[in-house]
Amino acid sequence: MRPVSSIIEEVRSEARLIRTFRLDRDLDPKPGQYLMLWIRGVDEIPMSFSGPDSITVQSVGQATEALFKMGAGSSVGLRGPLGNGFTLKGERILLIGGGVGSAPLAFLGEKARSKGLTVTSLLGFRSKEDIIFQERFEALGQVLITTDDGSYGIAGRASAGLKELSLFDFDQIYICGPEMMMWDVISRTREHGAKTQACINRYFKCAAGICGSCCLDPDGTRVCLEGPVITADRLLESEFGRYRRGPTGEKGPCRG
Partner 1 sequence: MPSLSIHAGGLDLANPVLLAAGILGTTGASLCRAARAGAGGVVTKSVGSTPREGHPGPCIVAVQGGLLNAMGLPNPSYRHFQEEIDAGRRSGVPVIASIFGSSPAEFAQIARALQADAFELNLSCPHAEKYGSELGRYPDMVESVTGAVKAAADVPVWVKLTPNTADILELGLAAQRAGASAVVAINTLKAMAIDIETGYPILGNRFGGLSGPAIKPVAVRSVYDLASQLEIPVIGVGGISSWEDAVEMIMAGAKAVQVGTALQEGYGIFEKIALGLQNYLERKSMTLEDLCGLAWRMQH
Asked whether position 44 contacts partner 1 by CB under 8 A, the answer is yes
E strand or H helix at 11 = strand 4-15
Q: Which stretch binds partner 1 (CB under 8 A): 2-10, 47-55, 80-88, 98-106?
A: 2-10
Asked whether position 249 contacts partner 1 by CB under 8 A, the answer is yes
Closer to partner 1 by CB, 217 or 233: give it.
Answer: 217
Q: Which stretch binds partner 1 (CB under 8 A): 38-46, 91-99, 133-141, 164-172?
A: 38-46
Number of residues that bind partner 1 (CB under 8 A): 38
Contacts of 134 by beta carbon, 8 Å cutoff, 6+ apart: 123, 143, 145
Indicate which single residue of 206, 231, 234, 236 sits in contact with partner 1 (rule: CB under 8 A). 206
CA angle at 78 for the pair 77 and 81, rounded to the nearest 5° = 180
Q: Which stretch binds partner 1 (CB under 8 A): 11-19, 37-45, 107-115, 228-236?
A: 37-45
Asked whether position 247 contacts partner 1 by CB under 8 A, the answer is yes
Indicate which single residue of 12, 210, 242, 253 sits in contact with partner 1 (rule: CB under 8 A). 210
Closer to partner 1 by CB, 185 or 214: give it.
Answer: 214
Cα separation, 253 vs 256, in Å, equals 10
Asked whether position 248 contacts partner 1 by CB under 8 A, the answer is yes
Closer to partner 1 by CB, 60 or 155: give it.
Answer: 60
| Residue (of 143, 55, 155, 32) closest to 96 by Cα position | 143
CB 255 within 8 A of CB 180: yes
CB 44 within 8 A of CB 67: no
Asked whether position 66 contacts partner 1 by CB under 8 A, the answer is no
| Residue (of 171, 114, 115, 113) closest to 142 by Cα position | 113
Indicate which single residue of 5, 12, 150, 194 sits in contact with partner 1 (rule: CB under 8 A). 5
Indicate which single residue of 35, 36, 132, 230 sits in contact with partner 1 (rule: CB under 8 A). 36
Q: What percent of the chain is helix, strand and coil (3-state, nearest 5)?
A: 25, 35, 40
Closer to partner 1 by CB, 82 or 119: give it.
Answer: 82
CB 241 within 8 A of CB 187: yes
Tell me, what amino acid is at 196? Answer: T
Cα separation, 128 vs 146, in Å, equals 9
Asked whether position 3 contacts partner 1 by CB under 8 A, the answer is yes
Cα separation, 115 vs 151, in Å, equals 34
Backbone φ, ψ for residue 175 (5° rounding): -135, 140
Indicate which single residue of 194, 219, 243, 253 sits in contact with partner 1 (rule: CB under 8 A). 219
Closer to partner 1 by CB, 51 or 227: give it.
Answer: 227
Summarize as ranges the residues that interact with partner 1 (CB under 8 A): 1-3, 5, 36, 38, 40-45, 75, 77, 79, 205-213, 215-220, 222, 245-251
